[in-house]
Every structure is written in C-alpha cells, then in structure tokens.
C-alpha cells in the first residue's frame, strides 16, 4: 500500500496510482498527527492525545568542511538544560524535550501542529571524529554541533626508550 505524500496528508487528497516515495518516511511527527474536519470543510491536523504519542523525530542537516563535520537542527523552544548531546567517534545522539509552557484546553485550539514532548535522533557519522574537540552551540533555536574530523594520515614519531 502506497503511503500518501506530504501534500496529500496535509490536503486530504489522494493519488494512489503514483509510486511510493521514500522521502515520505521522513515526515517528522507523522505518527503524532491525526486529521479532523473543520467547519469550513478543510482539514486540521491535531496531535494525538499525550498517552498515544510516540517520540518526535528531529530532522537534521549533516555536512562537511575540509576539517569538520557539522550537524544542524532546529530546537526552538528547547532550553539547553532540556537537551542532551552524546558523541562517540562514529555517532551522535541528540535527546531532548520540548514542553508546552502554558496550559491550553484542547477545545480552545483551532489548529495545533507544533510538537510537544520528547525527541531523539541518532546520527551515524560518515567518518570518525575527535570527540574531545567537539563543540555545540544554540542560537535563535538552531543547534549547531561542530565535530573535528580525525586526520588518519597524520603520523607521529615515537622515540624508543631502553629500560
């Protein structure tokens, strides 16, 4: 069965004769959304009740410079103390929680598309990095992680001592 495209999910339309599009799998909070009709005849997307929610998916950009790997992701509404970034030589794990700061009744919403709750993203790195030289910063809701590449061609001469 073909999964509907992002446009089809948002608009409620359906084109079943097209082939499956792999990019549809990256819809960030697809499992946390449901569609409900609104009085104007359109479709409004609402998160499922909190007991039905799963973890949110965190979309990331990963690119390289000659000396570094750089990961960028939007974490708007998440304070640094609500995030945990774990780095190993070949993997980065970003975990966090975005909590709604005000209590709003579900019946008062006309449209609710923002994701609230926990999220986790594991990124397998294309090459090994220097864990000790890694840096992370957050500005205007954009988390940037800079990972220095390990220089595998670098050599060190060791002096052999006699005992």
Quick one: average pLDDT of 12-22? 52
pLDDT in tens, 112-133: 777 788 889 999 999 999 999 9
pLDDT in tens, 72-109: 999 988 888 889 999 998 999 999 988 877 777 778 87
Q: Which two tokens stand for residue 106?
A: 């579900």
Distance of CA 64 to the CA centre of its chain: 18
- The structure's pTM equals 0.60
Domains of the chain with CATH codes: 1-53 (no CATH), 55-151 (2.60.40.790)
pLDDT in tens, 29-46: 444 444 444 444 444 444
CA distance 49 to 74: 24
Quick one: average pLDDT of 5-19? 59
The mean predicted confidence, pLDDT, of the chain is: 75
Q: Of 106, 133, 103, which is closest to residue 34 (Cα–Cα)?
A: 106
For residue 21, CA distances in Å to 14, 56, 101, 149 come to: 14, 21, 37, 33
Highest-scoring range by mean pLDDT, 15-19, 106-110, 135-139: 135-139
């Amino acid at each position: 069965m073909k999964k509907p495209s992002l446009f089809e999910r948002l608009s409620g339309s359906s084109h079943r004769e097209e082939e499956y599009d792999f990019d549809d799998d990256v819809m960030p909070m697809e499992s946390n959304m449901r569609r409900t009709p609104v009085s104007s005849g359109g479709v409004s997307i609402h998160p499922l009740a909190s007991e039905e929610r799963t973890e949110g998916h965190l979309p990331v950009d990963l690119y390289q410079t000659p000396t570094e790997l750089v990961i960028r992701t939007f974490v708007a509404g998440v304070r640094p103390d609500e995030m945990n970034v774990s780095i190993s030589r070949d993997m980065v794990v970003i975990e966090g929680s975005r909590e709604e700061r005000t209590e709003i009744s579900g019946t008062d919403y006309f449209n609710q598309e923002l994701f609230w709750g926990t999220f986790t993203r594991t990124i397998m790195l294309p090459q090994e990095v220097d864990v000790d030289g890694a840096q992370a910063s957050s500005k205007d809701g954009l988390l940037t992680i800079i990972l220095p590449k390990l220089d595998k061609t670098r050599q060190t001469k060791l002096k052999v001592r006699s005992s």
